[in-house]
Structure 1
Amino acid sequence: MNTTTKAIAANKKKMDDLTVGLCALTVVGVSATAATPFWPAAWGQAPSIGVVVLAAGLAVFLALHTLYWWRNLDEAAQEAHKWAWWWGGNLGFIAGGAAVVIAALNGADLLPARVPHTDTALIALGVVAAFAAQAVGYGIAWCGWWVARR
């Protein structure tokens, strides 16, 4: 076996181990129903400890998966992602933010009727709108980067 094949096999084993760990966390998450201790009452009803453990495990799994994925990309793909995130993400954020501000200033009701119009809901809308605008900008820039270098 050459070095590249060994590295790929090692990464696959790591991902398989992570997947087994995530499956185990899923079992714990479903079965542990006790409320999370030390949950502030102002935040509402406490989630079960299993949900917290599952969410934390999923976050670690996604971070490690992304790390292994990034290390396996070639230099051109890494540059495409970095360029697209910088230019597409930033320009998408600016354009999306401007669109939300303009819509809000023109009196557009940006929240669905069934959602209570609270400060929390408006903050959540802003976060989702910012993320969506960055993702759309990133996707357009990523495709443009590859088309330009084809």
Structure 2
Amino acid sequence: MTDQPIRRRRRLGYVAMLGVSALVGLVVGGLSALIDHVGGAAAGPLRIALLSAGVAAAAWICVAWWRSADEAVREAHKWAWYWGGSTGMAAAMGLFALSTWGAIDVALPPLGSGPDDLIMTGIAFTVGAQIVGYAIAWALWWLRHR
């Protein structure tokens, strides 16, 4: 008995999820640009509603994808997020600590002039480091289990 039809169906399911994700991104990006263009007093609440809808759609996509993933894929992602994400976060924390102590000079590109912009830069840098760590750990997991 062959599992070819299941593999083909699973591959099409992943492509469909990727397409839905791209569509959600395009809609949120387009509506965000429209809100920026129109502006006005309602821009703040519209942005909050748009962000909430985008996060809800992303969560729905993630749950649907997770339910369709097999055990090996789930284990690879859990392992990669735990080890890679934790290592990336530790690296970001280490860089920020060394920068605070004056041991190194971290020159992050400024997003603006206020403290909110510095917080967003720190969040973006930390999440970026976690994603890089995750990608490396995920690749290592699959290389070890091939």
Give the TM bin, normalised by the shorter chain.
Answer: 0.5 to 0.7
Residue matched to 2:81: 85
Give 1:111's aligned amino acid: L
- The structural deviation recorded for 1:84 is 0.6
Matches within 5 A, 1:16-95: 30=34, 35-36=41-42, 47=44, 49=46, 51-95=47-91
Give 1:71's aligned amino acid: R
* Cα RMSD (Å): 3.5
Q: What CA distance in whole angstroms lies between the structure 2 residues aligned with 1:119 and 1:34?
A: 25
Residue matched to 2:97: 101
The change in CA–CA distance for 1:91 and 1:26 in structure 2 (over 3 A counts) is closer
- The structural deviation recorded for 1:133 is 1.3
Provide TM-score, normalisation by structure 1. Answer: 0.65
* 1:110 maps to 2:107: yes
* C-alpha contact (below 8 Å) 1:33/1:48 kept by paired residues: no
Residue matched to 1:138: 134
The change in CA–CA distance for 1:27 and 1:109 in structure 2 (over 3 A counts) is closer
Give 1:56's aligned amino acid: S
Structure 2's unaligned 5+ residue stretches are: 1-5
* C-alpha contact (below 8 Å) 1:26/1:54 kept by paired residues: no
Q: What CA distance in whole angstroms lies between the structure 1 residues aligned with 2:95 and 2:31?
A: 43
Provide TM-score, normalisation by structure 2. Answer: 0.67
Residue matched to 2:3: none
Number of aligned residues: 128
Secondary structure, counterpart of 2:112 in structure 1: coil
Larger radius of gyration: 1
